[in-house]
Amino acid sequence: MAEKAIWRAGFEVEVVLGHLNIPRFQRELEAGGAMDRASHAYCQAVAALLRQHTGRRWMAPRRSSSKPGYYVISEYGLDPLYWPEDRLAGVELLTPPLPLPEADSVRREIIRAIDEIDGEFNFWPSDVTADCAWHINIDPGEEHNLDPEAFIVGVDELLLLSRNDRLFSKYAGLQRHSVGFSVLRHLDQDPQGKLLRPTLPILLSAHAGRGKSFAANFDKLLRGYLELRHFSAASFFDGPSLIEQLERILPAMEVPFNQTALLGDLFFKKFMVLATWLASTRERISWQVGPFNLMQAEGLVSFDDAPIGTILFDGSAELHLHGRKRYDHIAALRGFELPDVAEAVALLALDLAELRNFGAARKPSSSKVFQNEIVRLANVLKADPELSSDHQLAAVRALAASEPSSTAR
């Protein structure tokens, strides 16, 4: 058996806390309500309580630090406007990278501490906790074998995001969305993919999404780790072990770099199906964007002249597909070029078709005709067992357990 990476994980988990039974914060809550952003004094108080309950050296630095540690910082991305009256501030808890068993132990310590400090508010689903995220930063010790191509072809992000109720979030974009436009544009000119297939690894690595708008933030590879933004705070408090949470990610990253061809074949095969679907529907997709208003233009996307979604444009485009009600959005894709609206519709149709095959409940499209096209695409995918999420996982596990080939790519 090949020697495997020794994976480590560090956390960033967001929580929304109350007055901590500290008179100063009780008075602040009564007088002014929730803080727009947690004060440094509040973060210091949370750190002191975490030190008391866990025995670890939690701190609240005034400035961000590149040195790993146990930190409490203000979380400015949480909106306190509609919080319950007993909620005062949102904070983010950061841990250093630790071997997975130890990281899970620290996670349990944090769970117990939050329960004792603030009760069970963060443990239960609500409109407030739905906005809280859990980011997992992973690295394989000294090996740093983090390959964007292996992740893109080997990890079913759609399933992970669906299970964590993070699907189509502004800060959890799919890598498939990032690379899909280039793949579909190429297949439009090279329908059999004769030129694309041999160069697919290069294309995927070149167009991999980077930054905090993607669930897999490849920007952090320069620091030797990968930031995973697929997980909700609810999964932190009430989810399975880290090994189970990461069961679709770590094996894909352990596939020897010169044995990802099979996974690339499956990825390519699925996009060939999607390209065929798009070729048959492209002329039925249309859109119009109105004049700019406050630096943004808005318009409609239609299928057979019936509206199916809203498009926003402010230099880059953002597409929201509608359910039966216009503002009942069922899917979204951001950060693409305006001429690529048809490709964006196709990528979201693929998402919705696969969610249908997962059995994940999604509301139907506002257009019965377009919904029928999604069902047609879902049936084509379902007819080929090799295109299923389960088959991908089985292939990943088999390849991850294999000996690396002696011939480098």
Q: Is 8-255 a CATH 3.40.1000 domain?
A: no
What is the separation of C-alpha 76 from the centre of its chain, rounded to a whole number of angstroms? 19
Q: How confident is the model at residue 405 (pLDDT cuts 50, 70, 90)?
A: low
Q: Is the per-residue pLDDT at 345 higher than 60?
A: yes
Q: How confident is the model at residue 404 (pLDDT cuts 50, 70, 90)?
A: low
CA dist 219 and 225 (Å) reads 9
* 256 or 150: which leads in pLDDT: 150
User: Where do the domains of the chain lie?
Assistant: 8-255, 266-387
Q: Is the per-residue pLDDT at 220 higher than 60?
A: yes
Q: How confident is the model at residue 379 (pLDDT cuts 50, 70, 90)?
A: very high
How confident is the model at residue 142, as a pLDDT? 64
Q: Which residue has the tokens 């492209």?
A: 282
How confident is the model at residue 152, as a pLDDT? 96
CA dist 66 and 43 (Å) reads 18
How confident is the model at residue 326, as a pLDDT? 63
The region that residue 33 occupies, defined by phi over 0 for left and psi between -120 and 50 for alpha, beta otherwise, is left
CA dist 215 and 220 (Å) reads 12
CA dist 107 and 119 (Å) reads 16
> CB neighbours of 4 closer than 8 A, spacing ≥ 6?
254, 400
Within 18-100, strands assigned E span 58-59, 70-74, 89-94, 98-99
What is residue 76's three-state secondary structure? coil
pTM of the model: 0.91
